[in-house]
């Protein structure tokens, strides 16, 4: 598949005031694209747009509110003169023992991580099918491929993103309407506050995930693991069988990472997503 030039491409990114979304906006701008960003924190989005420069526009966005999402996409489309790439990045990660998780927070995370992604795809695809081209990028997680104790809801949500992206590709995908599921491992953003990471591979930086997203839009890659080594490792684990896989993951501490963490170091993030 031939590479697509990103110069002049019109890119919309949700949850882009910080972290992966912000880094992705910066990477697209460096590649010559024009960018609109949205975030639940409208003030932070404006600050981010100012820092990004290059006529980046920002709008407040609540991905769980259909009216807010509809208005955001319409405003971004008007500001950019159209949309070529839509990046569903907004997401939260509540973790902890399943029977102790705040049920209201869990419901909110489903709204953001699943319903928000479906709404974003629908709004983007209405435009892409009408104009005959476009690229939807959904930011998932390796947790959507590998189950992790303490992340029962989060794993379910990211598995939903993985399968929704693939189902949409089958239903709508053509050479000119493309879909990509991006699956980062532990990334150095506030989502992993208080956790100890994985022994299997080091944490990645938001810029590395951003580079993977930009490369996928250039090349049309459908699945992107960050780091790349995560793909072969996670795809091979089911071949081991549950007994061997579980023993290996317990030995490596993988199964503890969402159960044993510094609650005080994570408190600020947990409180913020409760208020979002």
Q: 69, 72, 154, 225: which one is catalytic?
A: 154
Q: In this structure, what token pair is assigned to residue 157?
A: 């949500």
HSE-CB for 116 with a 13 A CA cutoff: 31
Q: In this structure, what token pair is assigned to residue 38?
A: 């949205």
- The Cα–Cα gap between 88 and 91 comes to 9
Task: Note whether 15 and 91 are within 8 A (CB).
Answer: yes
Asked if 154 is an active-site residue, the reply is: yes
HSE-CB for 26 with a 13 A CA cutoff: 17
Query: How does DSSP classify residue 199?
Result: S
Rg, Å, the chain Cα set: 18
- The Cα–Cα gap between 265 and 112 comes to 23
- Residues with a catalytic annotation lie at 154
């Amino acid at each position: 598949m031939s590479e697509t030039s990103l110069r002049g491409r019109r890119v919309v990114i949700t949850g882009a005031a910080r972290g992966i979304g912000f880094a992705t906006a910066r990477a697209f701008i460096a590649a010559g694209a024009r960018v609109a960003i949205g975030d639940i924190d409208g003030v932070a989005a404006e600050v981010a747009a100012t820092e990004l420069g290059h006529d980046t526009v920002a709008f407040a966005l609540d991905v769980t509110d259909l009216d807010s999402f509809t208005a955001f996409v319409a405003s971004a489309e008007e500001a950019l003169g159209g949309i070529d790439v839509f990046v569903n990045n907004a997401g939260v990660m509540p973790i902890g023992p399943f029977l102790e998780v705040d049920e209201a927070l869990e419901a909110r995370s489903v709204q953001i991580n699943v319903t928000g992604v479906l709404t974003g795809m629908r709004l983007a695809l209405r435009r892409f099918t009408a104009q005959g081209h476009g690229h939807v990028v959904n930011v998932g997680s390796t947790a959507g491929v590998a189950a992790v104790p303490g992340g029962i809801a989060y794993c379910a949500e990211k598995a939903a993103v993985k399968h929704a992206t693939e189902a949409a590709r089958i239903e709508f995908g053509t050479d000119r309407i493309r879909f990509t599921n991006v699956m980062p491992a532990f990334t150095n953003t506030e989502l992993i506050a208080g956790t100890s990471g994985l022994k299997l591979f080091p944490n990645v930086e938001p810029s590395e995930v951003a580079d993977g997203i930009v490369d996928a839009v250039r090349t049309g890659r459908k699945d992107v693991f960050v780091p790349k080594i995560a793909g072969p490792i996670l795809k091979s684990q089911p071949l081991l069988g549950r007994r061997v896989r579980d023993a290996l993951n317990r030995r490596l501490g993988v199964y503890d990472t969402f159960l044993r963490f510094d609650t005080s170091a994570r408190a600020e993030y947990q409180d913020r997503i409760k208020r979002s």
